[in-house]
Amino acid sequence: MEKLIVHGGTPLKGRINVSGSKNSSLPILAATLLTKESCTIRNVPDLSDTNYMVRILGELGADVERASGVVITKAEKIKSTAPYDLVRKMRASICVLGPLTGRLKRCVVSLPGGCVIGDRPVDLHLKGMEALGAIVKVDGGDIDVNARKGLKGCEINLMGKHGSTVLGTDNVMMAATLAKGTTIIQGAAAEPEVEDLANFLIKMGAKIEGAGTHRIVIEGVKELHGAEHKVIPDRIEAGTFLVAGAILGEGITLRRVNPDHLRSVLDAFKHCGIPIETTKDSITVRPNPKARGFDLTTLPYPGFPTDMQAQFCALACAIPDTSTITETIFPQRFMHVAEMKRMGANIDLQGATARIRGGEPLKGAPVMASDLRASAALVLAGLLASGTTEIHRLYHIDRGYEHLDDKLIALGANIERVQE
Ligand code: EPZ
């Protein structure tokens, strides 16, 4: 196992390129199962999660080649079963449910486990498959979907008690592309990654309107053909680096990024008095020693993203004011708080709201990575802290950030990756 040793206090400056989006790549790679023809997906980040999805496609019978950021697939003949040992390592594997159901009309996909950010139900995914006419049974940890009589377009509301579901919307949209008739998804997730998936499906011959809004209309077609697609930039990786640049140094610039995908995050920085400049494909951020605290609530897109909540807790530690952040999507998603408190952070957790009194010095300490974004937030806290912070269980970070340490070192950070 590896760990990161972060020597805090070194100012950051310079520019880096943002990688392709993990949360766009995963459903788009799964969508290649919808056709027997070859697909080429570009700008796929080199992460353990995307490598794992490539492995899943292979185990399902697709031919898959990966050359750095380009993945070429050909799913001529595919299996209808995604077993537990394949699905258990990554919850997002659930996004093969829609393509397998759409293409084969029959599949068995193991129920993904929960994870540290909370219970990860799939009831809305199953509600969508049933609405399309499938018989869905959950038995012995497996989801058994039978749509032998074919899939029929429907009108469905996918809103859950925590708002819309990203992968649930993806799964229903993918299955609906090959259903008979028209499907209307109300309460759809509007994330840029959903829109990116829809754009890929449209290139494959799907008829989709409204992706990127909360109402998506899909008119089923007989079959889909191969296509090429370039994945959008990773808005959460970008947001994570913006927090690093806002915490200390002379300012950093991110390139190959789409500022429109980060409006709520950029507004949050500006609200704190942290200067942000954008062009169509770059964002520059500078620290402001007199920055003001913030009161944020995570919401489905276009609201403030839950995937940026932990990173903003680290930012709040750097701002000499009181800030609050309330988590409404995954109310337990505060694994980072206990670890930051080990570094001296003044954070008080009341239910799903963290109250942070920032500006007090943090001191480096050994901390434990837990989920992907909490782990990245601990790196950020380590940059801010005096002394050395050791971050164990690095595999959490490597799941979702392409060369995070190398990119931070390129910005001047003093970080080492060593064997545990
Ligand atoms: C996607 O997960 C992202 N993952 C997550 O990013 C992100 O945090 C999440 O969306 C919310 O934005 C990928 O895209 C691979 P949801 P997803 O279904 O689709 C509840 C990261 O760090 N819900 O939108 O699995 C659920 O419990 C990861 O990159 C149901 O109740 O999340 C949650 O409270 C972490 N029933 C809320 O909806 C369901 O059937 C949103 O979950 C499905 C979800």
Which DSSP string corresponds to 299-340? Answer: -STTSB-GGGHHHHHHHHHHSSSEEEEE-SSSTT--HHHHHH
Distance 280 CA to ligand 1 centre (A): 28
Give which of 93, 45, 91, 68 is closest to 232, Cα–Cα.
45
Helix (H) or strand (E) holding 411: none
Number of structural domains the chain divides into: 2
Q: Which of 120, 127, 264 to mutate to test the pocket of ligand 1 (most atoms within 8 A of CB)?
A: 120
Is residue 120 scored above 90 in pLDDT? no
> Is residue 334 located within the same domain as residue 268?
yes
Give which of 21, 4, 16, 2 is closest to 307, Cα–Cα.
21
d(CA 316, CA 64): 43
- Token representation of residue 362: 């943090």
Last residue of a domain, one of 196, 230, 264: 230
Q: Which of 21, 111, 166 to mutate to test the pocket of ligand 1 (most atoms within 8 A of CB)?
A: 166
Q: What percent of the chain has pLDDT over 70?
A: 100
Which residue's C-alpha comes closest to atom 18 of ligand 1? 165
Is residue 254 scored above 90 in pLDDT? yes
Q: What does the DSSP assignment read for 147-180?
A: -TT--B--EEE--BTTB--HHHHHHHHHHHTTSB
Is residue 255 scored above 80 in pLDDT? yes
Distance 124 CA to ligand 1 centre (A): 11
d(CA 91, CA 88): 7
> Is residue 74 located within the same domain as residue 176?
yes
> Is residue 73 located within the same domain as residue 11?
no
Mean pLDDT of all residues in 62-76: 96
Is residue 175 scored above 70 in pLDDT? yes
- In the three-class reduction of DSSP (H, G, I as helix; E, B as strand; rest coil), residue 238 is classed as helix
Mean pLDDT of the chain: 96
Q: Which of 89, 167, 197, 402 to mutate to test the pocket of ligand 1 (most atoms within 8 A of CB)?
A: 167
Burial of 270 (0-12, 13-18, 19+ CB in 10 A): exposed
Which residue's C-alpha comes closest to atom 6 of ligand 1? 307
The per-residue pLDDT for 116 is 74
CB 124 within 8 A of CB 168: yes
Last residue of a domain, one of 180, 209, 230: 230
CA atoms within 13 A on the CB side of 308: 32
Length of the chain: 420
d(CA 240, CA 231): 19
- Token representation of residue 169: 């919307």
Which residue's C-alpha comes closest to atom 43 of ligand 1? 122
> Is residue 224 located within the same domain as residue 249?
no
Distance 111 CA to ligand 1 centre (A): 15
The per-residue pLDDT for 114 is 64
Distance 23 CA to ligand 1 centre (A): 10
CB 253 within 8 A of CB 230: no
Amino acid sitting at position 27: P
> Is residue 163 located within the same domain as residue 288?
no
> Is residue 186 located within the same domain as residue 315?
no
The per-residue pLDDT for 113 is 67
d(CA 175, CA 167): 12
Last residue of a domain, one of 200, 230, 260: 230
Give which of 195, 188, 197, 254 is closest to 224, Cα–Cα.
197
d(CA 329, CA 298): 7
> Is residue 83 located within the same domain as residue 95?
yes
- In the three-class reduction of DSSP (H, G, I as helix; E, B as strand; rest coil), residue 408 is classed as helix
> Is residue 237 located within the same domain as residue 225?
no
User: How large is the C-alpha radius of gyration of the chain?
Assistant: 21
- Token representation of residue 144: 């058994």
DSSP 8-class letter at 213? B
Is residue 158 scored above 90 in pLDDT? yes
The per-residue pLDDT for 49 is 94
User: Residue written as tokens 């009161």?
Assistant: 295
In angstroms, how far apart are the furthest CA atoms of the chain? 64
Distance 59 CA to ligand 1 centre (A): 25
The per-residue pLDDT for 204 is 98
Mean pLDDT of all residues in 373-395: 96
> Is residue 150 located within the same domain as residue 273?
no
* Confidence band for 21, pLDDT divided at 50, 70 and 90: very high
Distance 169 CA to ligand 1 centre (A): 10
Mean pLDDT of all residues in 391-416: 95
Which residue's C-alpha comes closest to atom 13 of ligand 1? 23
Amino acid sitting at position 64: V
User: Residue 117 CA: which ligand 1 atom is closest?
Assistant: 35
β strands within 100-160, DSSP E: 106-110, 135-139, 142-146, 155-157
CB 158 within 8 A of CB 169: yes
Spatial neighbors of 87 by CB under 8 A, at least 6 apart, are: 56, 93, 94, 109, 110, 111, 112
> Is residue 130 located within the same domain as residue 276?
no
CATH at residue 203: 3.65.10.10
Which residues have a catalytic role annotated? 115
Domain that holds residue 14: 2-18+233-419
d(CA 70, CA 177): 25
> Is residue 184 located within the same domain as residue 266?
no
CB 293 within 8 A of CB 222: no
Is residue 109 scored above 90 in pLDDT? yes
Which residue's C-alpha comes closest to atom 16 of ligand 1? 165
Distance 386 CA to ligand 1 centre (A): 35
Mean pLDDT of all residues in 241-269: 97
Mean pLDDT of all residues in 363-383: 95
- Ligand 1 surroundings by CB, under 6 angstroms: 23, 26, 92, 120-125, 160, 162, 165-168, 189, 193, 306-307, 329-330, 372-373, 400
Q: What percent of the chain has pLDDT over 90?
A: 92
The dihedral over CA atoms of 288, 291, 296, 299, expressed in degrees to the nearest 10, equals -20
User: Residue written as tokens 């859950």?
Assistant: 160
Q: Which of 23, 109, 237 to mutate to test the pocket of ligand 1 (most atoms within 8 A of CB)?
A: 23
Backbone angles phi, psi at 69, to 5 degrees: -85, 5
28-60, pLDDT tens digit by residue? 999 999 999 999 999 999 999 999 999 999 999
User: Residue written as tokens 């829609």?
Assistant: 98
Mean pLDDT of all residues in 287-298: 97
> Is residue 115 located within the same domain as residue 142?
yes
User: Residue 170 CA: which ligand 1 atom is closest?
Assistant: 19
Which residue's C-alpha comes closest to atom 7 of ligand 1? 307
